[in-house]
Amino acid sequence: MKNYLLALALIALASPALASGTHAGGHGEKMAIGEPGDKTKASQTIRVTMKETDDGKMLFTPAVFNVRKGQTVKIAIKNTGTVDHEFVLDEEDKILEHKAVMEKFPEMEHADANSIRLPAGQSGEIVWKFTTDGEFKFACLIPGHYEAGMHGDVTVVGK
22-33 tens-digit pLDDT: 344 444 456 899
Domain definitions of the chain by residue range: 31-157
* DSSP code at position 91: -
CA distance 147 to 140: 10
Q: Quickly name the fold that domain 31-157 has.
A: Immunoglobulin-like (2.60.40)
Helix (H, G, I), strand (E, B) or coil at 96: helix
Using an 8 Å Cβ cutoff, are 52 and 81 in contact? Answer: yes
63-121 tens-digit pLDDT: 999 999 999 999 999 999 999 999 999 999 999 999 999 888 877 776 789 999 999 99
State the number of CA atoms in the 13 A half-sphere of 87 facing the CB. Answer: 30
Least confident of 56-65, 110-119, 141-150: 110-119
What percentage of the chain exceeds 70 in pLDDT? 80
Using an 8 Å Cβ cutoff, are 88 and 110 in contact? Answer: yes
Sheet of 123-130: strands edge to edge? 34-36, 123-130, 72-79, 44-52, 58-61
pLDDT at 105: 85
- Rounded to two decimals, the pTM is 0.79
Angle 88-94-95 from CA coordinates, rounded to 5°: 40
Longest dimension (CA), the chain: 66
